[in-house]
Amino acid sequence: MKKKIVLFASGEGTNAQRIIDYFKTSDQIAVTLVVSNKAGANVLNRAKAAGISTLLIDRASFYDSDQTITALKSAGTDLIVLAGFLWMIPESLVKAFPDKIINIHPALLPKFGGKGMYGMHVHRAVIGAKEKESGISIHYVNEHYDEGRIISQHSCTISENDTPELLAEKIHRLEYEFFPAAIEKALL
């Protein structure tokens, strides 16, 4: 029986698409559900185009009930992957799936992590701090933003001429290259 991945995403879904594509021919792992907190998120269109079920959640059901946990358990979830999901994961969900939720962060943690540090906010902060390198951190999720145990980190150099937008492109290349393989390793 295939291991089942559930993707959580809030936006465009480029990382989700890479993960879907990576596992679509796997004999051992399948993306079986995409969960989003935004009805207009393009990731939902990407999931539907790939024949993957979707679940739209709202703040009340996510934080104040066990509806999401029940749905994930009913789906036989083996691993939850945050691929651009911007809400903090509630403690109840972390406890229901211990060491079964992983995230990717667009910086080398513990630097440039925490509440509000996502997307271009991170890249602007890294460039503003005149860092010589940045990268990605793939980590388990706990009850705090970006503080879970690190699975792997991959870096890139920052040149003097890099803008936050150019750095974002470098980070995306790292995400696309390393995130699916890290997910596979976490499951097998």
Q: Is 105 a catalytic residue?
A: yes
Query: Within 13 Å, how many C-alpha atoms sit on residue 140's CB side?
Result: 15
Buried b vs exposed e over 59-86: b needs ≥16 C-beta within 10 Å?
eeebbeeeebbebbeeeebbbbbbbbbe
97 membership: H or E segment, kind and range: none
**Cα separation of 84 and 37, whole Å?**
11
- The catalytically annotated residue of 105, 139, 144, 172 is 105
Nearest to 150, CA basis, from 98, 103, 116, 87: 103
DSSP characters for 73-91? HHTT-SEEEESS--SPPPH
Paired sense of beta strands 150-157 and 133-140, if any: antiparallel
The catalytic residue positions are: 105
